[in-house]
Amino acid sequence: MKILLVAATETEIMPLLEELHLLSPEPQHLKKARYHNLDVEVLITGVGMTATAFYLGQTLVSVCDYALNLGLAGSFNRMLELGDVVQVIEDRFSELGAEDGDSFIPISEMNLGTGGVVHNDRNSENPVIELIPKVTGITVNTVHGNEKHIDTVCARFHPYTESMEGAAFLFGCKVADVPCAQLRSVSNYVERRNRKAWNIPLAVKTLNQKAIEILNAFAGI
């Protein structure tokens, strides 16, 4: 079985990389590895939806059985605790549309297609992934840090999480017809920027623990 792991940065998945047998460890976007009986490719795209779309599109030219997006996220919902791992099954390019005064018109209402929202409704075929709480999210170019803007986007879309790559990943996998899952670990709450309240080490730890559990399930361990 061939698994594609996709992350924006190596920092987010460093504990997982240390568990893999890297066949091409030198710095590059795409690394080849082995994990027990699994063939693994690790794609480090860089931050943002444009980089994710470009490098994922290049990589999905070759065949893989499953793609897994691993990353951190901010949470709009305080019911999620820092370090919680969730599966984003509906993601939205929340800025894709048009302003009309104080109103926002999503791309789907402009007769320009339905590309603003991406759903992942395929069965994960992995018992660990199936047990991860499923949420909705938004993908942005500018992370929210203004109270008024946060209130507006929450009222408009009711998202649980915010990332800078997730919807691009789901869109690419959907177009390529590759089974996939987007996993996010909550590193902070979406509020006025306050890095002292973030817990990136905890979020990285729980994300990578869950990723290893998932690979073990795929490997039949």
CB-facing half-sphere around the CA of 170: CA atoms within 13 A: 27
d(CA 113, CA 111): 6
pLDDT of residue 115: 67
CATH number at 11 reads 3.40.50.1580
What are 184's strand-pairing partners? 71, 86
Q: List, for residues 192-208, the tens digit of each pLDDT value.
A: 999 999 999 999 999 99
The pLDDT of residue 25 is above 80: no
Tell me the residue range of the domain where 151 lies. 2-219
Average pLDDT over residues 122-139: 93
Max alpha carbon distance in the chain (Å)? 56
pLDDT of residue 105: 82
Average pLDDT over residues 94-104: 83
Number of domains observed in the structure of the chain: 1
| Beta-strand runs (E) in 36-122 | 38-44, 66-75, 85-93, 97-100, 103-106, 117-119
Whether 47 contacts 8, CB under 8 Å: yes
The whole-angstrom distance between residue 169's C-alpha and the CA centroid of its chain comes to 7
**Residues, the chain:** 221
d(CA 54, CA 80): 31
d(CA 42, CA 76): 29
Closest C-alpha to 138, from 45, 49, 46: 49
Residue 162 carries which side chain, given as an amino acid letter? Answer: E
The pLDDT of residue 112 is above 80: no
